[in-house]
Structure 1
Amino acid sequence: MHTRDDWPPVVDLIERVVGEDDMLPSVVAAVRTMVQEIAALPAADIAGHTRALLAAATRALAARRGPTEAELSFVEELAVTRARQGVSIEAVLAAVHVAERAIWSRARELAGSAGVAPERLLDARELYDDWAEAVRVRLITAHRATGAGQGPPSGERDAALLRRLFAGGSAAALAAAEAGLPAAAALNPAAEPAPPPWWRTVWPPRRRARAGSGRAVRFLVTLAAVAAVCAGALLLLPAGRTAFEDARDKMGKPRPVTPVGIEASAEVPRHPAVNTTDGVSNRYWGAPAPGASVTYTFREPFRLVDMIIINGASKSPEDYARQARALRVDLEVTGQDGTRHREKLTLGDKPGPQTFPLGISDVKTVRLVLRSAVDLTEGRHLALAEVEFFRRG
């Protein structure tokens, strides 16, 4: 007997809400109406960044994790962009709040019909809040570091920060981060300031220096600082490149790509693995048991932007559950140079296409392993109707 995990319905619900045709336009319209500083920006700019944030949040909820470094790098880039556009951090956070409120209000409306219990929706919201708090902290830090934010007048900004500091909780922690204060001492103005680090006593070097006043020490400190900056640039290069490639993915329209070779580890009679790429969703690959795999080989390496999977025997609701389904797929992508990328994908137990944004470069082969079978009883087998691959447009 197979026990169903009750998390996939939560993920399906969030994907359904985010994927609704009118959700993104309504969020953009609400942001432009409620946040004056954002209203001056092009609608396409707001929509692009909102879509990317929603996709990242959905992936995090599906995997039940916090933000990845690639996601935080994108958030950092958003903060820098808004700062250079003269948008204050308060306006950026307000826009994020408007989007959050719209998504979760809609999720509460649909939860009952989607079979998601209130406690599970609360679990999802708490998980999202943890993800979002890390995102907000990175937004504030990157915006402040850019130093180009055009916020409200100094007096109003200080008053707003003070109100948030006295509010306590996460609001105070974020306000302290924005003001450059240590969170533990945010409301302790009488605390003695910490002594400056040793390097502050020798940096920056003064132009007028008497002989024997530490010129050699200052030179060594300067040299060490330059070396640290160079090392930091090298360490951050992979994350920056990832964010750049993700941005290019979002700018173009994905194009389908067809594999030249398909090989399965096991097949049931009359249901070969080639059925998954024939473009007909009422024919499927039949696998006798979990652990069966199918490998797709491509003529030339490409950047895999999205993958669409149609689970079950058909996308038709009437025929979907005729055979057993896999609720999880292990993905293994092999690049041109032999490097491997592995990921676990959670499938919803529902008919129709399910899209997985991937963003993997130099793909040569893709291998899928079926896991977590459901309804696999005597006389039945696992069915996977269709797999589609999309490259950058």
Structure 2
Amino acid sequence: MTERVRSLLVPVEDPQHRPAPVRSVAPVLPGRPLAERPQVRAPGYEQGHEHGLPCPWCATPNRPDRRFCTRCAMPMERDGMQQAQHRPWWRRLPLFGRRREIPWAGDRPPLRRAFDRLLSWGVGALALGLLIWAVVSIPAGVQATRDHFAKRAPVAPDDIRASRSYQGHHPDLAFDKVNNTWWGSGIRGTGEGQWIEARFDQPTRLLDLIITPGVSTKADELTKSALPHRLKATITTKEGKTRTRHLTLDQGAGGQRRAFRVGEVTKVRFTIESAYATSEKKQVALAEIEMFGPSNSDGG
């Protein structure tokens, strides 16, 4: 049985290594298509027209029938060039006469949108407004500079009035250049609404104030009266117009200087709005109000 099985087997040879076939052409990547380059004629003189009509812009000779230059593509008409050179006077102003560079043939000018134009007009209007404001503010600035460096001199009012006064302490005592006399409001408590007024026969320029609250400059006498806290200054100018300033004083002895730059006034009214250390046995008192203006030695 074994021999019979062996006779049925088919002999097979052992596998052998075979060399790879040699190719005659190596693989390559596919080529990239290139666009054809346009054939552009370089600018220059036209053949056979060396003595043609010259372009008014670039002086290139052109055929007589051409309307645009063969080199720069500008119009061949001379009227356009003369109009560009001889513009009206208002077009030659710096604000309106700004000439834009004319683009050459093949150059696309930048597009201007509506927002860009609005922005340009807005910036121009702002610059014009600032220029007008600067011109209008020059006199006020010059006067403010002069007031800042001016030498101060005392100014005495020509007439003094008050809403009411305590007996023996009339309003003139607040402008007598003496600190141990005083004006009393004549009302116990805060004295709110009571006023004292200085008038001038001629319009006067004021620069500073020195206000001494109380009945004197001594610290031990501050408790003898109420002290003004807030004063409303109503200023009347020579034109008859009124404006107000608010002065806030400290609770202390001695004169207190405050800047008070007003020009050409005819009267100033000081109205009491609040006070320190008020009681039913005290009244608001002012020892002195000193006014200062520019000295005549400075030419003010």
TM-score band by shorter chain is: 0.5 to 0.7
CA distance in structure 2 between the aligned counterparts of 1:376 and 1:220, rounded to whole angstroms = 62
Among 63, 85, 101, the residue aligned to 1:208 = 101
CA distance in structure 2 between the aligned counterparts of 1:221 and 1:329, rounded to whole angstroms = 48
Rate the CA distance shift 1:238–1:275 in 2: closer, same or farther, 3 A.
Answer: farther
1:310 maps to 2:203: no
TM-score normalised by the chain length of structure 1 = 0.43
Maintained 8 Å contact 1:313/1:321? no
Q: Which residue of 1 aligns with 2:192?
A: 290
CA distance in structure 2 between the aligned counterparts of 1:219 and 1:319, rounded to whole angstroms = 72
Give the drift of 1:246: 2.4
Q: Percent identity?
A: 27
Q: Which residue of 2 aligns with 1:255?
A: 153
Rate the CA distance shift 1:279–1:229 in 2: closer, same or farther, 3 A.
Answer: same
Amino acid at match of 2:205: R
Kindly indicate whether structure 1 or structure 2 has the higher relative contact order, using CA contacts under 8 Å at least 6 residues apart: 2
Among 327, 338, 341, the residue aligned to 2:229 = 327
CA distance in structure 2 between the aligned counterparts of 1:230 and 1:338, rounded to whole angstroms = 33
Q: Which residue of 2 aligns with 1:245?
A: 143
Q: Which residue of 2 aligns with 1:96?
A: none
Q: Which residue of 2 aligns with 1:46?
A: none
Unaligned runs of 5+ residues in structure 1 are 1-202
Q: Which residue of 1 aligns with 2:57?
A: none
Give the drift of 1:221: 9.5
Deviations 1:236-287 (A, max 9, x none): 4565544432221121211111100111011111111111101111111100
TM-score normalised by the chain length of structure 2 = 0.55
Q: Which residue of 2 aligns with 1:52?
A: none
Deviations 1:185-242 (A, max 9, x none): xxxxxxxxxxxxxxxxxx995542359x79xx99999998766544323334565544
Q: Alignment partner of 2:220: what SS?
A: coil
Q: Say which structure is richer in helix.
A: 1
Unaligned runs of 5+ residues in structure 2 are 1-95, 296-300
Q: Which residue of 2 aligns with 1:171?
A: none
CA distance in structure 2 between the aligned counterparts of 1:305 and 1:380, rounded to whole angstroms = 32
Give the drift of 1:302: 2.3
Q: Which residue of 1 aligns with 2:259?
A: 357
CA distance in structure 2 between the aligned counterparts of 1:210 and 1:328, rounded to whole angstroms = 71
CA distance in structure 1 between the aligned counterparts of 2:284 and 2:265, rounded to whole angstroms = 27
How many residues get paired? 189
CA distance in structure 2 between the aligned counterparts of 1:339 and 1:234, rounded to whole angstroms = 25
Larger Rg: 2
Amino acid at match of 2:170: P
Maintained 8 Å contact 1:265/1:292? yes
Q: Which residue of 2 aligns with 1:155?
A: none
Amino acid at match of 1:283: T
Q: Which residue of 2 aligns with 1:383?
A: 285
